[in-house]
Chains A and B, each alone.
Chain A
């Protein structure tokens, strides 16, 4: 193994559609491009079905991920499984530090994506895999015939409620607001489900159960009790960007932690681009196709930038 530090034209940090598309474009511009990802696929891979990616009428998220990954590799990009801990600005380049190596990039694209927002309850971690889940497409089948609650009021929460209404006798949809925010088609579908009960303006404040989840405590009485007996609780309350790398690097972020970018994907630090769900781009419309577009735009702008610098 070569212990010297590799120098790349572009180091892409992340493994979702923005990162992989950036890699395809950078490779086609003949840039030396490395993609570093703790895991490949991003949130896209969790999607049960993606039905709005042009030319794919219905495709598993994981299948689309595999195809994008293969495409990036065949285009000439290098892909490595590695967890990036830090990106450090140096003179004229960036040092990208992973658990096992360090590489240098003339430029960097941060396509770190987002992760599921947690409830932030002290007992939440204890029940992970024991009743609490953030992915109903992964774990829903284990709760067939059981008592299930879903927290949230947007598309993800409503689609989860509809899914469980077909396999469970009783489903609670627990929402802090007073009006659900999902697409009209989903709401219409939900209204037909007689076994789904929506608890409005209600928050889950504690999780109970000896070895696994048995009940949740809510902050508003339901049938004269603040306790609801549940076997499964699916938390569908949106996504949050991870700040660990972006904050230390000194990037300009919104108060929620999204990276501020201009129309070319440039951040406030010269040489650093950002793309995909982690950015303020695409009007905040976080989709596979917008992530891909942002990745492509960033790589094209880097190509111009490096050419001008020569």
Chain B
């Protein structure tokens, strides 16, 4: 599945009401480490295919979401499992670490 652009208006439908695991990357275009995360997020989306949903929230354009999830550092990654926060991770993460956390959610269901 390709990487989805989440925003203040589609977040509820795309993430909170989604019956499964969703990885959300909070980022901004001017943030260097967020650019490092980009290709890693793309690979995760490609590797998991239909098994999970992967998307990004631009914190500049979606202040409501950034405020709601208390984003004070980017990149911040939140893994939702059936609409609930399963993990919140701050800073650039290697693919393997993210995979471990995602797989943990997929096993739990």
A138-B31 contact in complex given A129-B90, A212-B70, C-beta closer than 8 Å: yes
Closest to B73 in A: A129
B81 at the interface (CB under 8 A from A): no
Query: Contacting A142 at CB < 8 Å: which of B73, B88, B93?
Result: B73
A60 touches B94 (CB 8 A): no
Closest to B40 in A: A81
How far apart are the CA atoms of A65 and B72 in the complex, in Å? 25
A83-B32 contact in complex given A40-B39, A138-B73, C-beta closer than 8 Å: no
Chain B residues whose CB sits within 8 angstroms of the CB of A61 once the complex forms: 32
Closest to A231 in B: B72
B73 touches A39 (CB 8 A): no
Interface string of B32-57 (1 = CB under 8 A from A): 11111101100100000000000000
How far apart are the CA atoms of A130 and B70 in the complex, in Å? 8
The interface centre, meaning the residue of B33, B43, B76 with most chain A CB atoms within 10 A of its CB, is B33
Chain B residues whose CB sits within 8 angstroms of the CB of A129 once the complex forms: 71-73, 76, 88, 90-91
Query: Contacting A139 at CB < 8 Å: which of B35, B70, B72?
Result: B72
Query: Contacting A83 at CB < 8 Å: which of B30, B35, B70, B94?
Result: B94
Chain A residues whose CB sits within 8 angstroms of the CB of B76 once the complex forms: 129
A212 touches B72 (CB 8 A): yes
Count of A residues near B, CB < 8 Å? 33
A165 at the interface (CB under 8 A from B): no
B16 at the interface (CB under 8 A from A): no
B1 at the interface (CB under 8 A from A): no
A81 touches B94 (CB 8 A): yes
Closest to B36 in A: A41
How far apart are the CA atoms of A60 and B36 in the complex, in Å? 12
The interface centre, meaning the residue of A60, A82, A128, A139 with most chain B CB atoms within 10 A of its CB, is A139
Interface-located stretch among A44-52, A254-262, A289-297? A44-52
A65 touches B90 (CB 8 A): no
Chain A residues whose CB sits within 8 angstroms of the CB of B36 once the complex forms: 39-41, 45, 62, 65
A39-B96 contact in complex given A62-B32, A62-B35, C-beta closer than 8 Å: no
How far apart are the CA atoms of A26 and B16 in the complex, in Å? 48
B40 touches A39 (CB 8 A): yes
A2 at the interface (CB under 8 A from B): no
A131 at the interface (CB under 8 A from B): yes
- Nearest 4 Cβ contacts at the A-B interface: A129-B90, A62-B35, A38-B94, A129-B73
Q: A128-B90, A129-B71, A139-B72 are in contact. List 13 more A-B contacts (CB 8 A).
A: A38-B96, A40-B39, A41-B32, A45-B32, A81-B94, A83-B97, A128-B73, A130-B70, A135-B33, A138-B34, A138-B74, A142-B72, A142-B73
A contacts, CB < 8 Å to B: 38-41, 45-48, 60-63, 65-66, 81-83, 99-100, 128-131, 133, 135, 137-139, 141-143, 212, 232
B contacts, CB < 8 Å to A: 28, 30-37, 39-40, 43, 70-76, 88, 90-97
